[in-house]
Amino acid sequence: MSQELILKNLKPERREQVLFVQWFRRTFPGQLVLSVPNGGSRNPREMVWLKAEGLTPGVPDLFVPGLGLWLEFKSATGRLSPSQVTVCEQLRGCGYRVEVVRSKDEAAQICLDMAEASSNGSNLRFVAKDEYNY
């Protein structure tokens, strides 16, 4: 199945997240961007195990350790759930930056801005300043 067909069939926020991860991995090769797969449907038995292993409702979609950045992707009309609001507040209280983004481009710009601002002390190797690698 082609990538275009796969992307076409995804919900908008998932499509933007996939496009962002692809962009991030090309722009910052070797740097981590981690997915937190909290969504989706699972059978009750699996849910018991996942919760016992630490699954926490409300954790943002992606984490960029090199920037201390959590990203939650939402559609143009999407809103945070109460558990997402709580977790985002807790993460901010721990010193992380948490952003709710509506597009790949918005998330990419945040990363570029943060990488440039922290280029003296960041573990993230800054590759592209104003250029998107589509």
Q: What is the mean pLDDT of the chain?
A: 85
In the prediction, which pLDDT does 74 show? 95
Please, which contacts does 128-133 make with residues 24 or more away whose CB atoms are closer than 8 Å? Answer: 128/27, 132/23, 132/27, 132/105, 132/108, 133/23, 133/26, 133/27
Tell me if the pTM is above 0.85.
no
- State the greatest distance between any 2 C-alpha atoms of the chain, in Å, as a whole number: 47
Per-domain boundaries in the chain: 3-117
Residues comprising the chain, all counted: 134
For residues 4 and 45, the answer to whether their CB atoms sit within 8 Å is no
Over residues 83-89, the mean pLDDT reads: 97
Residue 120 pLDDT greater than 90, yes or no = no
- CATH entry 2.40.50.140 includes domain 3-117: no
Q: Bigger pLDDT: 6 or 122? A: 6
